[in-house]
Amino acid sequence: MQPSLRIAEIELLEIPVVLRMPFRFGVVTLRQCFQAFVRARIVMPDGQSHWGASAEMIVPKWFDKNTQLSDEDNFEQERRVLRLAQAAYLADGSPDTAFGHFARHHEAHLRACAAENLNPLLANYGPALIDRALIDALCRGLGQSFYAAVQHNTLGIDERMPSFQGLNMAPFLASLKPATTLHARHTVGLLDAITRQDVTEPVNDGLPETLQEVLQVYGHRYYKLKVSGRIDADIDRLCAIASVLDSLPEPYHATLDGNEQYQSAEQLLELLTRMRAQPALQRLVASILFIEQPINRLHAMDIDLNKMDLGMPVIVDESDGLLDTFVMARERGYTGISSKTCKGVYRSLLNAARCVAWNQEASTPGRYFMSAEDLTVQAGLSVQQDLALVNLIGVTHVERNGHHYVNGLQSRPAAEQAAFCQAHPDLYEHSHGAARLRIREGQLHIASLNAPGYASAVMPDFSAMRPL
């Protein structure tokens, strides 16, 4: 069954977010921002209406890294694409499947955003949130989980868009099998303290503040290490990180996030060559799974990585502005691409299907792969919807950083915090004065996400929010 639904209402809301410690990624140091919420009401073929919701951070200097723009400029860009998407989805009142609404507006929305100098990566942020709210409403209306809705293609994913043609989507979707646990890959940001001696702005709230404390409290086995593009400084910092990670008796795994800070493949190769020559980095180098978007998005697709032996896979993240970016990136030697709910559910499903199809032709098993990256997604709807998506497409570890830089659901009403803990006791716990992610031995337990709706048995308190 692929029911056609009519979109009756779309509400845009937001809340302020204050970080418990600064987080530097790329060219920005983040201390406060916002989280956007979308509520959508749909009308089903039987005339019944249902509400659904989604959430995502509003952050500076990721969707658009133009240094001429202030943080407030970036915030308003993201609000603008949400408003443009809201207007587009409400302008056409005819019914369609959940996927049909996405397909109907995709190209026109990109053009409308381009006319306002809003790049494709940024433009996708608006529909990504609205599509998730529609999926949530549809699943709640049918009493169906997100997993089941995808596996049975209740969303109506078909070949009306050229990017989806020839991939046998229905059999692929039916083959997906979610797990009940995921490894959390801990982010080590460029300002993060490695040991207690490195702490310059102590929080003293009882939660981990240093990499050393993270190891002791959460027990992660996967780590994401930010590098800055300044090779000498990166080598020194990686040696300090390795001195802590190498204390683990068990194997650990790492990824390197270049954050577009390298201007060429040659500069990246120099970093890797220097790393391999450092005795203190031998175990860390052997642990690296892939490198994430090292080259600036303006040049990333101009460089042919096939001509350079880096010795490890490279994935695309910030360059992923179009549905067919992965196709173009594959030709340039990239073998992986990130899943982020801020880019859209349908894009992640599409790229996961591509990996399956391409790997059937590849000489190296598993050559093409999906990674799962964070955009400081927060406890509640945002992290749950992201976890459910990456879990369903078969990713076994996901970057998680929102819980480290923000104090859980502390800013939300007590009743809302209690509701999420009660509905999802495997995923959350109440400690240090707030509801927060529960991480044990580096893992998140997520069986409770398999519930009617898009991965959440409860809703946040929308009355405690303000209009976008």
Give the domain ranges of the chain.
Answer: 6-142, 175-467
Over range 1-28, report the average pLDDT: 92
Give domain 175-467's CATH superfamily: Enolase-like C-terminal domain (3.20.20.120)
- The CATH architecture one would assign to domain 6-142 is 2-Layer Sandwich (3.30)
Model confidence at 434: pLDDT above 90: yes
Least confident of 97-111, 137-151, 290-304: 290-304
pLDDT given for residue 263 in this prediction: 85
The model carries a pTM of 0.97
Same CATH topology for 6-142 and 175-467?
Answer: no
How confident is the model over 174-186, as pLDDT tens digits? 999 999 999 999 9
Among 10, 25, 14, smallest CA distance to 375 is for 25
Least confident of 21-30, 231-240, 358-367, 449-458: 21-30
How confident is the model over 392-427, as pLDDT tens digits? 999 999 999 999 999 999 999 999 999 999 999 999
How confident is the model over 120-155, as pLDDT tens digits? 999 999 999 999 999 999 999 999 999 999 999 999
Model confidence at 257: pLDDT above 80: yes
Give the confidence band of 375 by pLDDT, cuts at 50, 70, 90: confident
Model confidence at 433: pLDDT above 90: yes
